[in-house]
Amino acid sequence: MKARLSWICHGPTEANRKGCFPGDEPLEHKAVQRADLSLARLRTVDRVWTSPALRAGQTAALLGLDAIDEEALRECDYGAWRGRSIAELHESDPQSLASWMTDLSAVPHGGESLSSIMLRVGAWMEQHLQDAGHTVAISHASVIRAAILHVLQAPASAFWSIDVEPFGLVEMTGDGRRWQLRFPQLAR
């Protein structure tokens, strides 16, 4: 049994552009207008899961995909940092920001730790390892980073070494026992 899992990061938002911790904001209007998204690489899709966030649902709609909300794919709860920029926190509370970036179990914002995201995403992936066919998961950069770390069995400290862009695509395959990263050919 072969499983295929395509992770798609939601499209750009004002929070992305301003370097802020997101709330449940929509996609930027001009990003929606400029979007030139092709599903040609996705081919047949058997199921689509999406974060319950507005921007993830809007991304699914832009792609013409009928998605089911999945709580396990939700963005990190940034607590009191929601809406604040990283630059602002670097100025006003550099110790808390540094703690959060070096200790992935830290929650100085009062929300969810990054290690919790990694556990949540890893558990979801294991639950869907037996799913035959092609699954698309539309989520957030933090969730996709956690998925990549899970596949590679990389240390949590590698979280910050992964850059996931808006509308970014990460592909994985599974053989029923484990997930693997997949780098498809540009042309076929």
pTM for this one? 0.93
What average pLDDT does the structure give for the chain? 92
CB atoms within 10 A of CB 147: 27
* Residue 1 pLDDT > 90: no
Q: What is the DSSP letter of 162?
A: -
The pLDDT value given to residue 37: 63
The pLDDT value given to residue 15: 94
Please give the full DSSP string across 165-179, using - where no structure is assigned: -TT-EEEEEE-SS-E
Question: What is the tens place of the pLDDT at every residue in 27-44?
Answer: 998 777 766 666 656 678
Question: What is the tens place of the pLDDT at every residue in 79-109?
Answer: 999 999 999 999 999 999 999 999 999 999 9
Give the residue-averaged pLDDT of 141-154.
97
The pLDDT value given to residue 174: 95
The pLDDT value given to residue 187: 55
The pLDDT value given to residue 183: 87
Sheet containing 3-9: order of strands? 68-69, 47-50, 133-139, 3-9, 169-174, 179-182
Q: What residue ranges do the domains of the chain occupy?
A: 73-130+153-161
The pLDDT value given to residue 31: 72
* Residue 64 pLDDT > 80: yes
> Residue 180 and residue 148: Cα distance in Å, rounded?
9
The pLDDT value given to residue 36: 63
